[in-house]
Amino acid sequence: MAEIILRDVRKSYGANEVLHGIDCTVRDGEFLVVVGPSGCGKSTLLRMVAGLEPITGGEVGIGSRVVNNLEPAERDIAMVFQNYALYPHMSVYKNMAYGLKIKGLKKAEIERRVNNAADILEIREYLDRMPRQLSGGQRQRVAMGRAIVREPEVFLFDEPLSNLDAKLRVQMRLEIKRLQERLGITSLYVTHDQVEAMTLGHRLMVLNDGHVEQLGTPIELYERPETKFVGGFIGSPAMNFIDGHLRDRGRKAELPGGRMIDLDDRLAGHADMAVTIGIRPEHFEIADDEFKALPHKVVVVEHLGADTLAHGRLGSGDQDVTVRLSGIRDVASGTVLSLKVDPAHVHVFGADTGIRLG
């Protein structure tokens, strides 16, 4: 096992810098997920760790070695790609054994490793099949088995579930999590799917335009996003953002139409200023006192079984706001809900900076 250490890692294509000084340590045995929108630099970062992309600046360390100038084969890593990258003319067994054969391992050791990985992934019955005879989920298991047999110091995953259908993605998420917990191998996992990130990672690194927006546990990012970007990216449905203004020296926030909501003590004494209020859909509650409530006119309703999503407008504002209500609710388009929110669940960001206040 080994740590992955990134020190001021940068990547440029000519004058265009796409990674702006990434600093992070993936601890021994940790599963770190790099998440962000398309084009933010997450796959480029992974390829630099793998040695498939040259580093413009900074250092990449694996264990006690700086690996900037080492070839991929010298880094003691195993990588799982989104397109499986299986040899179509080889059986499952030969796909998993090929890399070990090239390394010169003895036949008995190759057989031991392949059978062990096949047992872990429950694919022993497929060892004689060709890749074309397998489903997408089975092919991805084979790709992971090919990584496991190498017994590397580090696993690298490049959006391995993006080609699977929704049901298979859920199943494979659970299998990858069980696999990592069983093997305890240091893992760096790249995805644009924040649900994958939340469910798989011990910690998450949120990338935005080549910068680290926040690094922390899934719960830390969910409950205390440091920027508006993180608040909007982590969580499904996404956090609601409403234009507002701090009033009463940070004790209240004024929403469009003049409605006030209470804030907790985080911003006590803060000067009045324009802000963005963030409230997650599940943190709205039905209010008993309609006079003090926030009116929410429902436009579209989504019945999800366990939950009901009511999309509409809050007060006299023109911003879309989504409310999550538990269970199946008798809510229709045109209904006006009376809402309240606990001050502890109100997030306040600078209107210009997008940075969390308090």
Spell out the alpha helix ranges (H) of 184-326: 194-200, 218-223, 228-233
**pLDDT > 80? residue 318:** no
Average pLDDT over residues 162-190: 88
Average pLDDT over residues 45-59: 96
How large a percentage of the chain has pLDDT more than 90?
73
**pLDDT > 90? residue 191:** yes
Q: Give the bridge partners for 130, in sequence order.
A: none
**pLDDT > 70? residue 1:** no
- How confident is the model at residue 130, as a pLDDT? 96
Spans of all domains in the chain? 4-232, 237-350
Q: Which two tokens stand for residue 342?
A: 């606990």
Q: Report the relative pairing of strands 252-254 and 240-247 from DSSP bridges.
A: antiparallel
**pLDDT > 80? residue 291:** no
Q: What is the DSSP letter of 38?
A: T
- How confident is the model at residue 172, as a pLDDT? 86
At residue 46 the predicted structure's pLDDT band, cuts being 50, 70 and 90, is very high
- How confident is the model at residue 226, as a pLDDT? 97
- Rounded alpha-carbon distances, angstroms, from residue 145 to 4, 87, 93: 22, 14, 10
Please state, as a whole number, how many other Cβ atoms lie within 10 Å of the Cβ of residue 300: 11
Kindly report the average pLDDT of the chain as a whole number: 92
**CATH top class, domain 237-350:** mainly beta
Helix, strand, coil shares, percent, the chain, to 5: 30, 35, 35
- Rounded alpha-carbon distances, angstroms, from residue 134 to 88, 91, 116, 131, 245: 11, 11, 20, 5, 57
**pLDDT > 90? residue 344:** yes
- How confident is the model at residue 13, as a pLDDT? 93
Same fold yes or no, 4-232 and 237-350 = no
Cβ atoms of residues 95 and 138 within 8 Å: no
Beta strands in 177-267 (DSSP E): 186-191, 203-208, 211-216, 240-247, 252-254, 260-262
Cβ atoms of residues 263 and 315 within 8 Å: no
Q: Euclidean distance between the first and final Cα of the chain, in Å?
A: 39
Separation CA 244–CA 197 (nearest Å)? 30
Q: Which fold has domain 4-232?
A: Rossmann fold (3.40.50)
Average pLDDT over residues 162-185: 86
Read off the pLDDT of residues 116-150 as tens digits, 9 standing for 90 and up: 999 988 899 999 999 999 998 899 889 999 999 99
At residue 290 the predicted structure's pLDDT band, cuts being 50, 70 and 90, is confident
The pTM of the full predicted model, rounded to 2 decimals, is 0.90
Cβ atoms of residues 326 and 306 within 8 Å: yes
Average pLDDT over residues 183-204: 93
Please state, as a whole number, how many other Cβ atoms lie within 10 Å of the Cβ of residue 187: 25
**pLDDT > 80? residue 289:** no
